Chain A
Amino acid sequence: DAGITQSPRHRVTETGTPVTLRCHQTENHRYMYWYRQDPGHGLRLIHYSYGVKDTDKGEVSDGYSVSRSKTEDFLLTLESATSSQTSVYFCAITTGTLANTGELFFGEGSRLTVL
Chain B
Amino acid sequence: TQLLEQSPQFLSIQEGENLTVYCNSSSVFSSLQWYRQEPGEGPVLLVTVVTGGEVKKLKRLTFQFGDARKDSSLHITAAQPGDTGLYLCAGASNYQLIWGAGTKLIIKP
Contact = CB atoms under 8 A, between A and B. Distances in A.
Contact of A103 (B30, B48, B88): B48
Contacts of A109: 40-42
A43 B43 contact: yes
B87 to A, nearest CB: 11
A90 B35 CA distance: 14
A42 B43 CA distance: 11
Interface of A: 40-45, 90, 92, 98-101, 103-109
Most B CB contacts (10 A, CB to CB) among A101, A104, A105 go to A101
A106 B33 contact: no
A40 B31 CA distance: 23
B33 to A, nearest CB: 7
A100 B42 CA distance: 21
Interface string B83-104: 0000010101001110111100
A108 B41 contact: yes
Nearest to A6: B42
Contacts of B97: 45, 101, 104
Nearest to A40: B101
Given A103-B33, A103-B45, A104-B35, 5 more contacts: A40-B9, A40-B101, A43-B43, A90-B43, A106-B43
A70 to B, nearest CB: 22
B58 to A, nearest CB: 14
Contacts of B41: 106, 108-109
Nearest to A33: B97
Interface string B28-71: 00110101000011111100100000000000000000000000
